[in-house]
A and B are shown apart, each in its own frame.
Chain A
Amino acid sequence: MSDRSVAVDEAAGERAAYIHIPFCHRRCPYCDFAVVDLEEEPAVVDRYVDALATEIALEPEWAPLHAINLGGGTPSVLAAGQIERVLEALSARFGIAPGAEVSIEANPEDWTRSHAASLRRLGVNRVSLGVQSFDGDVLRSLGRNHDPRMAVAAVENSSSAGYENVNVDLIFGTPGESVASWCETVATAVQLDARHLSAYALTVERGTALSRAIRAGSPAPDEDDLADKYEELVDMLPSRLIHYEVSNWAEAGSECRYNLTTWAQGEYLGFGLGAHGHRDGVRRRNVRRLDVYLSSIEEKRRPEAGREQLDPWARDKERVFLGLRRRDGVRAGRAGAALWDSEAGRRFARAGVVDLVAGRLVVLEPLLTDAVAREVLALAEPQAG
């Protein structure tokens, strides 16, 4: 294993924060995030930003943050001033460590040169662009508001505004997307020289318009098609882009620190509608209803909807389950060793799906990660002695 894997494990010791900006121009048919329709609630944005600032102030003090992620929804719909308020609140409450990653998710149609530049001036240094595809037909099937030209422009605007790290977010396997179209999309992303690439198989989440359409007879994403496209992607990407997680590639040093923290079972604060946090070994989640969120914040109550604290064994299994998504694998520890010694573990090893290398459990076939994770999570605690 490289030194990187160790560096990457250190993400477990970093402190991150996630801020959820729930607003979108309209809901995409495949999306099941906590989303608020901007057209229906334009007036609420300022109130929401105030609430975020209050919620941040309600959180007990912590040390300076290493990674901040403004996610959504569509954070790029916020005005620079609104972003500034949020960042200031974070800085005032916790401090922001020097060299911290400050990342925002943006939809190409919002990512104008001037908007990109003004956010950059506020200290935002990474942008994750919801490009999804460079094929207009695929974008239409996905119900997106932008076209391929806007997507290309958004990447270029990021570079010219001086973003250190630009991520291109892609979706593959949309019914109707050909393999050729997908390869074209990948080639375009590579040409644009993005430092970071996320490529997600289209997933049918329950309760979405997509899942209803499929139940009514529309074509569903196909396992073989998804696997073919994934393999094409792996083959096509240049070596400068290192495959570091199931669906993520980056140049060395440009991995997303916020996400690395997540997969290392590290701690992060979550603010905003439906946001999740993980602090002092407790996972907490916020309410998903906007009115409930706003009113509890305005009454100075934390808008908590639930929390979870795992016992040490379950926690170790969770650590392995999360870490297995990384191509460098995860320090085996108790749960990893238990898997390796189990019947299922032997089956995976024989089939060439997992390996144990220098104390790290590694999934060799990233497309089968869940098969392994399922077995990990089902392990009974080995008796001591």
Chain B
Amino acid sequence: MSDQTRIRNFSIIAHIDHGKSTLADRLLEATGAVAERDMREQLLDTMDIERERGITIKANAVRLEYLANDGEVYTLNLIDTPGHVDFSYEVSRSLAACEGALLLVDAAQGVEAQTLANAYLAIDSGLEIIPVVNKIDLPSAEPERVAAELLGILGGSQDDVVQVSAKSGSGIPDLLEVIVKRLPPPSGREVAPLRAMVFDSYYDTYRGVVCSIRVVDGAIAKGEHVRFMATDLADAADEIGVLQPEALQVENLATGEVGYLITGVKEIDLIRVGDTVTDAAYPATEGLPGYQEPKPMVFSGLFPTDGDEFERLREALDKLRLNDSSLVYQPETSRALGFGFRCGFLGLLHMEIVRERLEREYDLDLVATAPSVEYEAHLTDGSTVRVRSPQDLPDAQVLADISEPFVKVMIITPSEYVGTVMELVQQRRGRMGEMTYLTPERVELHYEVPLAEIVFDFFDQLKSRTRGYASMDYEPGDYRLSDLVRVNILLNGVPVDAFSSIVHKERAYRYGRAMVERLRKLIPRQLFDVPVQAAVGSRIIARETIKAQRKDVTAKCYGGDITRKRKLLERQKEGKRRMKMVGQVEVPQEAFISALRIDE
């Protein structure tokens, strides 16, 4: 159909909020892919949550037809990428479908951690990179300084930097020309067995699994039999098409083109993103280099506040997973919280998004236990157990030691905050790595920090201590031995599972103290004194007492009062029925929930 020389496949990569979605909108408009009257803001961000939070969590591909100044019509395939650290694996798989990338930077903010992390990913993937400075309309814009920062990373000269305002549209025509001129066209073998990369997939209720594909070699035609090489699954290509951005069916996709593929496959789990699609009759001998499956890094228990909602939660998770294969979960029972699921997430944002979607789209009311990472427990017999929940930690008698995941953290900060940042990292048990001055005013810092220290409030702390100026990104590192203990919280001597936590030895006291104080305030007084204790093994490290209830009687019960008093007592009892018994102690579900929510 089209000749590879008139195709450009590219992504926009940027730190969050630097204007990627807005720029995509402008490109769609400028090429007439959408008429201006149909333009909704951030057209490519389809999910409600994305729209509201302004984050892109699913890669989208759209095909633009562009009439260039040279009189030729080019096909531009814009592959949108997510802009948050939790989803960096999605960035790399989007990049694998491209030859080039626009590295977009906010003219008022400058290079940030994700700008850099994404730039490195693009460089590693061998992409041609066009530096673009956005938001030049802002009064606080410093396009020259920012351009200099970009060149410091990418090399090249000021003339290579394109300046735009995605908001006003200024600079967009130039940018389109630069895309055509500077980005290389695909260079696949046209006469060869089909090799197409699956760079995304999602589940559609009516059509089954829809794969986003990039044809690398050969071509794919509607109706032909294809084979997914890694899974060895063969099926007919029932439908192929392109997104403009609405779906348009085509008869075939040629070498270098990007589009979608629908086969008879109905189960999302059967399709592996990164797999290679080939012709079932004339298969390629070798698949394309794939990429790593994302691994969950953060774990948390999700429990419906209403125990009867467990099945609905399961159904909702099953549905979410159809479009989010990185979400993992298995049933978990908690004495305090009842039945729920231990869920694994790519990171904290992912966790938040999943929870919010469950609550909003599925109308569930959930409580989440404190996030945990995956520890490795080394046993005295030489074996290793992976621990995703504090309850799973083996007993001290058989436990030799524990290692925990570290991450490589990159932080970019104005140089005046270097000391503050170092202090924060040290408090979080981080180790200093390299330090590079991007410019005299801005520094790139590298650390290795236990993931567990990052997942709580590290990001918020970093932001607040640097007045919002620092940015960060992280990638998985290795496991290292650490001095970790499990703190158990005991109510009247009975452990309350939802509050156990694996923490560094030096943090144990602080955690235990905070938890027992919190619970003392939240749990109503009982008929007897209730000790609330924090313990490491058999050693009590903090204790509070919920004093026995002293007064539970209405002062007066006169003749005119009997029915009303009786009904009042009956209503109060109804309220108590919703209490959970922890041993002999009655605890309102709300107390557990509030204790867990205080962290938020």
Contacts and interface: CB of A to CB of B under 8 A. Distances in A.
A308 B552 contact: no
Contact of A223 (B550, B558, B562, B576): B550
Interface in A260-289: 261-263, 268, 270, 274-276, 278, 283, 285
A227 B550 CA distance: 6
A200 B556 CA distance: 7
Given A318-B566, A321-B566, A367 B573 contact: no
A224 interface: yes
Interface stretch (A141-149, A180-188, A209-217, A371-379): A371-379
B576 A270 contact: no
Nearest to A172: B555
Contact of A368 (B527, B573, B584): B527
Interface string B547-563: 10111111111111111
A366 interface: yes
B562 A322 contact: yes
A375 B559 contact: no
A370 interface: yes
Interface centre among A18, A318, A351, A377 (most CB of B within 10 A): A377
A224 B547 CA distance: 10
Nearest to A307: B563
Given A347-B584, A367-B553, A369-B552, A276 B559 contact: yes
A24 interface: no
B569 interface: yes
| Centre residue among B528, B547, B556 by max chain A CB count within 10 A | B556
A82 interface: no
A374 B573 contact: yes
Given A321-B566, A347-B527, A18 B560 contact: yes
A263 B572 CA distance: 21
Nearest to B560: A276
Nearest to B577: A378
B570 interface: yes
Interface in B528-580: 528, 547, 549-563, 566, 569-570, 572-573, 576
Contacts of A226: 550-551
A259 B558 contact: yes
Contacts of A285: 560, 563
A247 B558 contact: no
Contacts, number: 102
A190 interface: no
Contact of B551 (A227, A261, A283): A227
Contacts of A321: 566, 569
Contacts of B561: 276
A247 B555 contact: yes
Contacts of B551: 201, 223, 226-227, 230, 367-368
Contacts of B566: 318, 321, 377
Interface in A330-352: 347-348, 351
Nearest to A18: B559
A144 to B, nearest CB: 17
A246 B527 contact: no
Contacts of B555: 200-203, 246-247
B573 A377 contact: yes
Nearest to B558: A262
A283 B569 contact: no
Interface in A171-210: 200-203
Contacts of A268: 559
Contacts of A247: 555-556
Contact of A369 (B553, B559, B576): B553
Interface string B570-600: 1011001000000010000000000000000
Contact-residue bracket for chain A? 35 or more
Contacts of B525: 223
Given A262-B562, A377-B570, A203 B556 contact: yes
Contact of A325 (B527, B557, B560): B557
A353 interface: yes
Contact of B569 (A278, A348, A351, A377): A377
Interface residues of B, number: 26
A306 to B, nearest CB: 9
Nearest to A20: B560
A251 B34 CA distance: 93
Contacts of A259: 558-559
A321 B563 CA distance: 11
Contacts of B572: 370, 374
Nearest to B584: A347
B38 to A, nearest CB: 52
Contacts of B556: 200, 203, 247
Nearest to B525: A223
Interface in B192-219: none
B552 A371 contact: yes
B545 to A, nearest CB: 14
B569 A374 contact: yes
A347 B584 CA distance: 9
A202 B551 CA distance: 12
B557 A270 contact: no
A20 B559 CA distance: 11
Nearest to B527: A351
Given A262-B558, A318-B562, A325-B557, A370 B552 contact: yes
A13 to B, nearest CB: 16
A361 to B, nearest CB: 16
Contacts of B560: 18, 20, 270, 274-276, 285
A314 to B, nearest CB: 9
Contacts of A16: 559
Contacts of A270: 559-560
A344 B426 CA distance: 53
Contacts of B554: 203, 370
A353 B562 contact: no
A263 B557 contact: yes
A370 B570 CA distance: 10
B374 to A, nearest CB: 41
A318 B566 CA distance: 8
Contact of B576 (A18, A71, A374): A374
A278 B566 CA distance: 15
Interface in B334-388: none
B343 to A, nearest CB: 35
Contacts of A368: 527, 549, 551-553
A276 B562 contact: yes
Contacts of B559: 16, 18, 69, 258-259, 261-262, 268, 270, 276, 278
A325 B41 CA distance: 68
B582 to A, nearest CB: 14
A374 B566 CA distance: 8
A371 B548 CA distance: 13
Interface in A63-120: 69, 71
A371 B557 contact: no
Given A16-B559, A203-B555, A374-B573, 14 more contacts: A203-B556, A223-B550, A246-B555, A275-B560, A276-B561, A276-B563, A285-B563, A308-B563, A318-B566, A347-B527, A368-B552, A373-B569, A377-B569, A377-B570
21 contacts: A20-B560, A69-B559, A71-B558, A203-B555, A223-B550, A224-B550, A246-B557, A276-B560, A276-B561, A276-B563, A278-B562, A283-B562, A321-B566, A322-B557, A325-B557, A367-B551, A368-B553, A370-B554, A371-B549, A377-B566, A378-B573
State the 4 A-B residue pairs at the shortest beta-carbon distance, nearest first: A227-B550, A200-B555, A276-B560, A369-B553
Interface of B: 525, 527-528, 547, 549-563, 566, 569-570, 572-573, 576, 584
